Amino acid sequence: MSDATDPWLIVGLGNPGPEYAANRHNVGFMVADLLAERIGGKFKRAQKAQAQVVEGRLGPPGPASRRVILAKPMSYMNLSGGPVTALRDFYKVPTDHIVAVHDELDIDFGMLRLKLGGGDNGHNGLKSMTKSMGPDYHRIRFGIGRPPGRMQVADFVLKDFSSTERKDLAYQVDRAADAVESLLADGLERAQSTYNS
C-alpha cells in the first residue's frame, strides 16, 4: 500500500518525433511538457528506460508538495508499457501512484475525466501499460472527440488539432495539468468533483 512519502510517476502518452508533436494522440506529451515548465525542469534521457524524465516537486511548498517523476515514453504509443514499468521499478513507485495522461475518443474536446483503474477503451498506450503492470493506475482522460464522417480512428488521432480546437488547446492543456496537481494534492474524489465535466 502506498503512503504520502512515495513518489508519483506522471506519464504523458504520445509518440516521439517532431512529425507527431502536434497530433491529438500527443496531448499527453503536451501536458507533461507544461508540468515540467511548472517545476522548472527540462526533460532528459532516463538511465534505465526508453523515456525522457524530469524529477521535481509539484504542489504548494511544504509538506503538501509531492515528489514527482514526469515521463514521456520514447517507444511509440503501442509500446508504452515497457518504459513505464521500467521507470516504476527504478523509482519504486506504487502502481496507484502512476498517472497516465492520454487522449480519449469517447469524450468531447474540452472535457476531462479522472479515474483509477478500468479498461483501455481501445487506446494502445493504455493497453500496453495494462498488459505490463495491470489496470490499477490513475488516468487523466483528455477528450478529443470522435472522427468526423468516415475518417478512420487511426488517421484522426495522428492528425493535428483543428484550427478551432487550437484556439482553445493551451487552456485545455493547462486545465489538464491543474487536474494532475489536484489529484496529487487533494485525492481522486475531490479532483473528480472539480474537473470531471
- Residues designated catalytic: 25
Q: Check the CA dihedral 26-30-35-36 and report its sign.
A: positive
Which positions ≥6 away from 24 have C-beta within 8 Å? 103, 144, 156, 157, 158, 159, 160, 161
Q: Nearest Cα to 102, choosing from 75, 87, 88, 122?
A: 122
The two counts, helices (H) then strands (E), for the chain are 6, 7
Instruction: Tell me the C-alpha distance between 8 and 58, whole Å.
Output: 10
Instruction: Tabulate helix, strand, coil % of the chain (nearest 5).
Output: 40, 20, 35
Which positions ≥6 away from 197 have C-beta within 8 Å? 110, 111, 112
Cα atoms in the Cβ-side hemisphere of radius 13 Å centred on 14:
28
